[in-house]
């Protein structure tokens, strides 16, 4: 089994690159952003609660997200491996993920961290706003999401760095350029 975290600030291309990685390397994709948006659109109790945070650019509480991930991992016991997209986003989530995987006799093998300058992040998310219909793709909320990333999510990279599991990838080129760089790192484990 090979388990990968695709990491980076909001708008760095985690969702975009995950689709490429899934189709090339046949990993099971788990995106907490997609799972939460699905709950919001179905207006489940979890979705109604999560929306309050997402609309303000804040992280959804850890216990909500961790419970969601745990059941998602259990849905595909025979997966070749998982690609975690947008998760973990806090140190508490990282520790919970490590425990869940340990219970399944596996672990996180690699964290690929997309490096993209802040002006480019904002430019991309404002560009997406025109078509995404996402209530969190507007300038005020984007600024809050980036602030939340620096305060709560960036420490996750340091957490995995202490185990030597982090590779930093230049993420401000084209989608294809970035995918080539990511693919080279993944091939070291999967070929």
User: Any residues with CB less than 8 A from the CB of 52 and at least 6 apart, and which?
Assistant: none
Residue 42 falls in the annotated catalytic set: no
Is residue 84 a contact residue for ligand B4P (CB under 6 A)?
Answer: no
Nearest alpha-carbon partner for 86 in 32, 161, 141: 32
Contact (CB, 8 A) for 79 and 160? no
Q: Which of residues 131-150 bind ligand B4P (CB under 6 A)?
A: 136, 145
Query: What is the C-alpha to C-alpha distance for residues 82 and 101, in angstroms, rounded to an integer?
Result: 10
- Residue from 33, 83, 97, 169 binding ligand B4P (CB under 6 A): 33
83 counts as binding ligand B4P under rule CB under 6 A: no
Q: Is 29 in the site for ligand B4P (CB under 6 A)?
A: no
| Torsion sign over Cα 181, 111, 118, 20 | positive
**What is the spatial distance between Cα 121 and Cα 142, in angstroms, rounded to a whole number?**
9
State the catalytic residue, choosing from 14, 37, 72, 124.
Answer: 14
- Judged by beta carbon, residue 54 or residue 164, the one nearer ligand B4P is 54
The answer to whether residue 128 is catalytic is: yes
To the query of whether residue 144 is one of the catalytic residues in this protein, the response is no
Selected binder of ligand B4P within 2, 15, 49, 190 (CB under 6 A): 15
Residue numbers 155-174 binding ligand B4P by CB under 6 A: 174
The residues, any chain, with a CB within 8 Å of residue 16's CB and separated by 6 or more, are: 175
Angle between helices 32-41 and 62-75 (to 10 degrees): 100
Which are the catalytic amino acids? Answer: 14, 89, 128, 134, 145
Which residues contribute to the site for ligand B4P (CB under 6 A)? Answer: 8, 10-16, 32-33, 36, 53-54, 57, 59-60, 65, 86-87, 89, 93, 124-125, 127-128, 136, 145, 174-175, 178
């Amino acid at each position: 089994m090979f388990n990968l975290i695709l990491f980076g600030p909001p708008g760095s291309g985690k969702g975009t690159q995950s689709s490429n990685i899934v189709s090339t390397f046949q990993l099971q994709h788990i995106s907490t952003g997609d799972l939460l948006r699905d709950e919001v659109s179905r207006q489940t109790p979890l979705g109604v609660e999560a929306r309050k945070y997402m609309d303000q650019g804040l992280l959804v509480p850890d216990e909500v997200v961790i419970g969601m991930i745990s059941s998602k991992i259990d849905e595909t016991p025979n997966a070749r491996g998982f690609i975690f997209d947008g998760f973990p986003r806090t140190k508490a989530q990282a520790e919970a993920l490590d425990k869940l995987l340990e219970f399944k006799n596996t672990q996180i093998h690699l964290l690929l961290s997309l490096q993209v300058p802040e002006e480019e992040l904002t430019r991309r998310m404002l560009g997406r706003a025109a078509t995404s219909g996402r209530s969190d793709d507007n300038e005020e909320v984007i600024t809050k999401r980036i602030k939340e990333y620096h305060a709560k999510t960036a420490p996750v990279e340091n957490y995995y760095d202490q185990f030597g599991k982090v590779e930093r990838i230049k993420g401000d080129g084209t989608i294809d350029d970035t995918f080539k760089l990511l693919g080279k790192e993944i091939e070291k484990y999967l070929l």
